[in-house]
């Protein structure tokens, strides 16, 4: 597996997490308070930008023939991880998004 795949998965995870936190229900689940309107809009925009970035990375590394297929796989893995983690460890799901970047650096060096 290449670092591009992990980068695509990580960006898809960050994007889906931002979209989830853009909803008041999930934001309250993680931070125990309601988000401001500007923060919800910013999280939603960030989520869509991260998903688009994940798509772009997959297409860049695998081309148009396999890039969208790889992106669907990466986004599915990210969604599964988020769906399984968010109900049981909401703060851990946010920490995983932050700690994924140093892990990506280590993977890319291998």
Over the stretch 77-109, which tens digit does the pLDDT of each residue have? 999 999 999 889 899 999 988 888 888 777 777
Q: Produce one character per residue of 63-73: b if its CB has 16 or more CB atoms within 10 Å, e if not.
A: eeeebeebbeb
Contact 86, 26 (CB under 8 A): yes
Q: State pLDDT tens for residues 58-83.
A: 999 999 999 999 999 999 999 999 99
Residue 3 has pLDDT above 90, yes or no: no
Domain that holds residue 100: 3-109
- Which of 61, 47, 87 is closest to 8 using CA atoms? 61
Q: How many domains does the chain have?
A: 1
pTM of the model: 0.91
Distances (CA, A) of 43 to 46, 48, 96: 5, 9, 17
pLDDT given for residue 53 in this prediction: 93
Question: Tokens representing 101?
Answer: 């970047």
């Amino acid at each position: 597996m290449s670092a591009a795949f992990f980068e695509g998965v990580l960006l898809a995870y960050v994007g889906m997490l931002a979209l989830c936190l853009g909803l008041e229900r999930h934001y309250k689940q993680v931070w125990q308070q309601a988000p401001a309107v500007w923060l919800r809009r910013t999280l939603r925009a960030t989520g869509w930008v991260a998903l688009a970035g994940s798509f772009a990375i997959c297409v860049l590394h695998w081309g148009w023939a396999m890039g969208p297929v790889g992106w669907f796989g990466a986004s599915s893995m990210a969604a599964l991880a988020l769906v399984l983690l968010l109900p049981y460890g909401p703060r851990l799901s946010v920490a995983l998004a932050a700690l994924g970047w140093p892990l990506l650096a280590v993977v890319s060096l291998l």
